[in-house]
Structure 1
């Protein structure tokens, strides 16, 4: 009778150990999923709020002329040199 109680106790200890390790492995993923869903919900709510507050305003282009960025200027210069050299 005594050995049966020891075997059951060892089995319970082993099962609880495995369950505890499983929880430790799954917990960070579960927390991340909950956090992502909360952020997605907040983004959806903010987007809906923007749609409600600005329904009639269309996107207007700026009247101010824009300057090309340095990267664009450099890339255009490289393209023109390629055409000349070939």
Structure 2
């Protein structure tokens, strides 16, 4: 059984994280603003996105919450 090298896993993780953040980017959010909301330094978020580091579970949970909040606020605005 062969294991995937950590750099390939980290790169795939970075691509998945970028894809998850794309709805925020499409709404005009700058990467530094997303980092601020997730309570990480912009450089740290950049390393996560490039696959140089893998974020802790808390960052993923924070991103999910941020996406949910933004989706909810957009939906409410459309119907108000």
What TM-score do the two structures reach when normalised by structure 1? 0.29
| Greater share of residues in helix | 1
Q: Which has the higher contact order (CA 8 A, sep 6+)?
A: 2
Which is greater in Rg?
1
